[in-house]
Chain A
């Protein structure tokens, strides 16, 4: 199975729409989702596949149908990860500022 990153999965606008509609309709089938979207059931399934590869969606069989649900943990994990990267940059920039403003101080 191809591993997809959350950000990679969310890079497509239509895919983001699929995720939003699914979030509003937990346990929906691909057919039900395509009725809410301007794309075919096949395209919905394709996008759901990518979302599943990233861990954002999971599926389960219920009788003859396959139903889908959003998993929010990867979203919040990714948001946390980006926040920590931003904080890292703040720290590096603060260090840069310190070195620029105090050139005679030896770096630690």
Chain B
């Protein structure tokens, strides 16, 4: 199972307009208030909405008109960005006959710390029918 998600879409609009939209840090997560964002590498912009929560987004790298990469914490809303808690989102914009193609690659899921819900569950090592199954197996094997 890959720890990467890749999707793309064709857009019939000028490259400049698409680039402007794609390079707004956190454009993919709702914000209740307009955010005047610094778009340079290293900038951290906070997107916040009552419905979805608070998401800091860091600008990682920008190559004009081609590529923009960001980092955020999809599984830890409200937290500040920290190692083990972020994924990398990379957008690539490519001109096509009809406009542009935008592709997104989100990666790093394998390195994410387990969210609190997983930790709370714990792992049960003893069980129910499993032990009986094993006993049956053992009995069979010893025949």
Contact (A82, B1) CB under 8 Å given A7-B109, A96-B102: yes
Number of A-B contacts (CB under 8 A): 108
Interface size on A, residues (CB 8 A): 37
B23 to chain A, nearest CB (A): 12
B123 and A78 contacting across the interface, CB-CB below 8 Å:
no
Decide if the interface of chain B is mainly helix, strand, loop or mixed. Answer: mixed
A90 to chain B, nearest CB (A): 6
A3 to chain B, nearest CB (A): 4
B119, CB-defined interface residue at 8 Å: yes
B106 and A7 contacting across the interface, CB-CB below 8 Å:
no
C-alpha spacing A91/B127, complex, angstroms: 41
A101 and B3 contacting across the interface, CB-CB below 8 Å:
no
Given the complex, which residues of A lie within 8 Å of B8, measured CB to CB? 93
Residues of chain A touching chain B, judged by Cβ–Cβ distance below 8 Å, are: 1, 3-8, 10-11, 27, 52-53, 55, 58-60, 62-63, 67, 69, 75, 78-79, 82, 85-86, 89-90, 92-94, 96-97, 99-101, 103
